[in-house]
Amino acid sequence: MSRLSPATLERVGEAAILGLGLLDYSLGPDLFFSVFYLLPIVAVAWYGDGRAGYFACAVSASVWLAAEILSREVQLPAWVTAWNAGVHLTTFLVVVALAIRLKESVAAQTKLALSDPLTGLANTRAFFDRLSAEIDRALRYGTIFTLAYMDLDHFKEVNDTLGHAEGDEVLRRVAETMRGTMRTTDLTARLGGDEFGILLPETPFGKAEGALGKLRVEIVTAMSEEGLARDHLDGGRDLRGPPWTQWTTRYTSRTG
C-alpha cells in the first residue's frame, strides 16, 4: 500500500469502508461489527497522511450510521442512535490519532538510527547501506555513480586550541553547507571525526567533479564567514582568520 499515491490510497480506503458497510448491513444490527472499520481507517492513516485518516473516520462513522438505520426494523430513539454514532466517531478519531503518533515516533526513531546526532547527516550505517544498494544496482543495470570522500585539513588544531564545542560548531556548519549545496538525490554522510562521504547516483565523475569543486568553495566560504578573528594563539596565529580559507578537501572518487 505504501506504493499507492495518496489519492489512490484514499479511494481504496473508501471502497473498503463501503464494502464493510454493506457487510455490516447484511449481518444486521445485533452483531457488533464496527471494530472492522478500523482496518481501512488505520491503513489510510498509516500509509497516507493525517488528513486522509481523519476523513476516513468521518466516512466510516457515516457508513456505520447508514447501516445501523437501514438494517433495523424497529428504530432506536433518535438520541440513542446519535449517541452511538458519536461514540463510534470518537473511537475512530482516537485510534487514528494514536496511529499517527506511533507513525511519527517510528519515523523519528528510524531517522535517529540512521543519522549522525551532531550534524544531522546520514551516519556510517546509512551511508554504506545506500552504497551497497547502489553498487548492486550498478552491477545489475549498468548505472553510474560517483563516490567521494572529504575531510577537513587542520581540524584537530581547532579542537586543540578553540575547544571541542567550537569544533562541533564547525562540523555542523560544514554539514549545513553540504545539505544546501548538494542535490536532494545525493547522499551526504559523516563517517566519523572530520571525515565525510558523498554518494552521487546516476552521476559520472566528470559531472560530479564540478559539483564537488563547488562544494569545496562553499565550505571554504562558509568557514571564512563563520566569524571574525576572536582567538589569537600560537604567537598571534588566528585560527578564525586566514587559515580557515586555506582549508582543503580531498576527494577519492569511484565510478561504478
Contact at 8 Å (CB) between 70 and 25?
yes
User: According to the model, what pLDDT value does residue 240 have?
Assistant: 36
- Phi/psi of residue 163, nearest 5 degrees: 100, 160
Q: What is the pLDDT of residues 127-143, one digit of tens each?
A: 999 999 999 998 898 88
pLDDT value at residue 2: 61
Residue scoring higher pLDDT (56 or 225): 56
- CA 226, CA 247: separation in Å to the nearest integer? 14
Work out the percent of the chain whose per-residue pLDDT is above 90.
Answer: 50
Ordered domains of the chain (ranges, CATH):
6-113 (no CATH), 124-255 (3.30.70.270)
Q: Convert 98-123 to b/e letters by CB count within 10 Å (16 or more is b).
A: ebbeebeeeeeeeeeebbbeebebbb
Containing 78, the helix (H) or strand (E) segment is helix 78-114
Residue 230 pLDDT exceeds 60: no
In this model, does residue 255 exceed pLDDT 50?
no
Stretch 80-107: mean pLDDT: 95
Name the average pLDDT for the chain.
84
Whether the Cβ atoms of residue 148 and residue 253 lie closer than 8 Å to each other = yes
Among the ranges given (48-57, 157-166, 233-242), the one the predictor scored with the smallest mean pLDDT: 233-242
Report pLDDT for 1: 64
- List the single range of 41-45, 101-105, 180-184, 203-207 with lowest mean pLDDT: 203-207
